[in-house]
Amino acid sequence: MRPTYFTALLAALLSVASAVVSLRGAEQAVSRPAQLPFLNWERLPSIPDYEGFAGMFAGVSGDSLLIAGGANFPGKRQFEGGVKTWYDAVYALPAPNGEWKAIGKLPRLNGYGVSVNALGGVIIAGGGDARIHFTDVFLLTWNGRDLATRPLPSLPRPCAFTSGALVGHVLYVACGIETPDATEALNNFWALDLTALDAGWRVLPPCPGPTRMLPVAAAVGDTFYLFSGVGLHAGSDGKRVRTFLKDAYSYTAKAGWRRLADLPAVAAAAPSPAPVTADGQPLVLSGDNGTLIHLDGPHHPGFQQTAFAYRPAENRWIKVGTTPFSRATVPTTYWRNQWIIPCGERIPGYRTPDVWSLDFAVPR
């Protein structure tokens, strides 16, 4: 009887221990976040301009990568008394291992607007130059021989230093500033249904939180995201003062706006629209955290090189690595299964001609 009793007791204890281990394992499986794919960076051919540009437009047409417009400080930088210059040149890259080619010009000098891939080309919305900001919206197309533009419904008011993204067939444009010398940013939120262009832009409930310029936009499924940015107000001397923001929001046509978890750090003017992983996590890459705004270009070490992912299902941010670059005021576009980040500002006042691609495959 004793061996039978002790055998039964031992079996019971082992069963309880096994259940506890299984339960702990299940809890860990539930709480352990899914792993992000490897962030695979690759440098593409640099554009044929020594300085490079910030605030460019980027997109795809005719299977070629297009970049256009933007601004830089040729020669002297701003802190040296240099003058910011806007551009209208359009360049095309036919293949990742190809060569950039100048293919034409935009309708006018332009930078710091929104660009998205749609309707067989690149939609460019808003932007501006040194004097004024624009309401212009147009489609830029390239067939390998000819560059063409087609006007689309104008924005409700001028807007630059803005952001936007394409959610399904609806283009959203959010925030920015109305004039180059504005001391207050906007909280505008506009939508253009690309299947009903004759209806024009709809004015939607404004973006929550402080008014802002240079936010990061993203599109995942039916959801538009708005992250970070810079608030403005007039100081005692009348000059504008910047407030760096790290709040975050989402918008859906059904539910409207929703406040999300704040970013771990400010990431104003980070690449936008934000690249999105295959499982729907927007990535906020580099950008200006505002901590070194008092430093001039030569004394500035460069913008942060962090990479954060937002997990919608958990409403939380995680750090997923670093970027091989320091960047702000730079567009993105999706081309040949890669996210492209062309040019941009690497240090205040200094641009770059470098072009990077990002995918989420295993390391090559």
Does any domain span residue 326? yes
Q: Count CB neighbours of 308 within 10 A.
A: 22
pLDDT tens figures, 87-140: 999 999 999 999 999 999 999 999 999 999 999 999 999 999 999 999 999 999
Q: Say yes or no to pLDDT of 363 above 80.
A: no
Q: Say yes or no to pLDDT of 13 above 60.
A: no
Pair 44, 100: CB distance under 8 Å: no
- Chain mean pLDDT for the chain: 89
State the average pLDDT over residues 332-360. 95
State the average pLDDT over residues 60-84. 88
Pair 217, 232: CB distance under 8 Å: no
| Confidence bin at 19 (pLDDT 50/70/90) | very low
State the average pLDDT over residues 205-229. 98
Q: Say yes or no to pLDDT of 60 above 80.
A: yes
State the average pLDDT over residues 243-270. 98
Residue 212: strand, helix, or coil: strand
Residue 10's H or E segment, with its range, is: helix 2-31
Residue 43's H or E segment, with its range, is: strand 40-44
DSSP label at residue 80: G
Q: Tell me the two tokens of residue 42.
A: 């690759």
pLDDT for residue 1 = 42
Does any domain span residue 22? no
Q: Say yes or no to pLDDT of 47 above 60.
A: yes
Does any domain span residue 2? no
The CA-atom distances, in angstroms, between 154 and each of 18, 101, 137, 317 are 66, 29, 5, 36
Q: Say yes or no to pLDDT of 28 above 60.
A: no
Does any domain span residue 29? no
Angle value at C-alpha 348, between 345 and 351, nearest 5 degrees:
30
DSSP label at residue 106: -
Instruction: Report the CATH number that the domain containing residue 292 is assigned in CATH.
Output: 2.120.10.80
Does any domain span residue 24? no
User: In the beta sheet, which residues pair with residue 334?
Assistant: 339
What whole-number distance in Å separates Cα of residue 29 and Cα of residue 166? 35
pLDDT for residue 37 = 54
Pair 133, 113: CB distance under 8 Å: no
Closest by Cα among 36, 29, 16 to 282: 36
Q: Say yes or no to pLDDT of 67 above 70.
A: yes
pLDDT for residue 288 = 95
State the average pLDDT over residues 48-69. 96
pLDDT for residue 256 = 98
pLDDT tens figures, 266-320: 999 999 999 999 999 999 999 999 887 766 667 788 899 999 999 999 999 999 9
Q: Among 2-16, 143-157, 194-208, 271-285, which is the least confidently predicted range?
A: 2-16
**CB-neighbour burial class of residue 211 (10 A; exposed 0-12, middle 13-18, buried 19+):** buried
Q: Say yes or no to pLDDT of 34 above 50.
A: no
Domain that holds residue 239: 39-359
Q: Say yes or no to pLDDT of 226 above 60.
A: yes
**41-79 b/e (C-beta count within 10 Å ≥ 16 → b):** beebeebebebbbbbbbbbbbbebbbbbbbbbbeeebee
Does any domain span residue 18? no
pLDDT for residue 82 = 79
Q: Say yes or no to pLDDT of 324 above 70.
A: yes
Q: Among 25-39, 132-146, 197-211, 241-255, which is the least confidently predicted range?
A: 25-39
Pair 5, 13: CB distance under 8 Å: no
Does any domain span residue 14? no
Specify the number of domains making up the chain: 1
Q: Say yes or no to pLDDT of 342 above 60.
A: yes
Q: Which residues contact 25 (CB under 8 A, 6 or more apart)?
A: none
pLDDT for residue 295 = 67
What whole-number distance in Å separates Cα of residue 278 and Cα of residue 6? 54
Pair 58, 66: CB distance under 8 Å: yes
Pair 56, 68: CB distance under 8 Å: yes
pLDDT tens figures, 185-203: 999 999 999 999 999 999 9
Does any domain span residue 10? no
Q: Say yes or no to pLDDT of 216 above 90.
A: yes
